[in-house]
Amino acid sequence: MLEKGVDFPPDPGSYVLALIAVEPFRLRAGALGERLLDAGVYLYVGSAFGPGGLRARLSRHWSGAQRLRWHVDYLRRQTHPVAAWYQPQAQPMEHVWARVLGAGRGIAPAWPGFGASDCRCATHLFYASELPSPGAFRARLGRAGCDTGGLRARGTAK
């Protein structure tokens, strides 16, 4: 589990949030409907370009939003956050990151359209039976031509 009081930078940027489900669960996610999901690790790709940047968004995910706005808010209610990988950026890279994650070995799309209501990605939610290492993610981004200089990980060992 992530330590209490962990802080994220207030800058805009993109992130991957890792959420753990210890047993299979049924999730209703707004207009997407309902699905039975496996126990395991869920990787949600997002970006934070609003007020408060990554700090505001990741803190919201960590504590769990009271008002359900995004698909991930529903998922968060039934899972526990264990890690976040994030990178302050001038341009949102979440859609590129979603494509890169989806091509990862041992990582599979979890739910078509999840978190992708306003973009053309197949999904922004992925499933892995075990938490991938941030180093593997960094390497994969690098091979896809992404700048990973500011990429940070919290919540798990490197």
Site residues, Zn ion (CB under 5 A)? 95, 116, 119, 121
- Beta carbon of residue 22, minimum distance to Zn ion (angstroms, whole number): 28
Distance of CA 6 to the CA centre of its chain: 17
**C-beta of 141 vs 155, nearer to Zn ion:** 141
Least Å from the CB of residue 73 to Zn ion: 17
Q: Which is nearer to Zn ion, 61 or 155 (CB)?
A: 61
Distance CA 26, CA 53 (A): 31
- Between 59 and 117, CB nearer to Zn ion: 117
Is 44 or 62 the residue whose CB approaches Zn ion more closely? Answer: 44
| Minimum CB distance to Zn ion, residue 94 (Å) | 6
Please state whether beta strands 40-48 and 13-21 pair in parallel, antiparallel, or not at all (unpaired).
Answer: antiparallel
Helix, strand, coil percentages (3-state) for the chain, rounded to 5, are 25, 30, 45
Compute the least distance from the CB of residue 116 to Zn ion, in Å. 5
Tell me how far apart the alpha carbons of residues 118 and 116 are, in angstroms, rounded to a whole number: 5
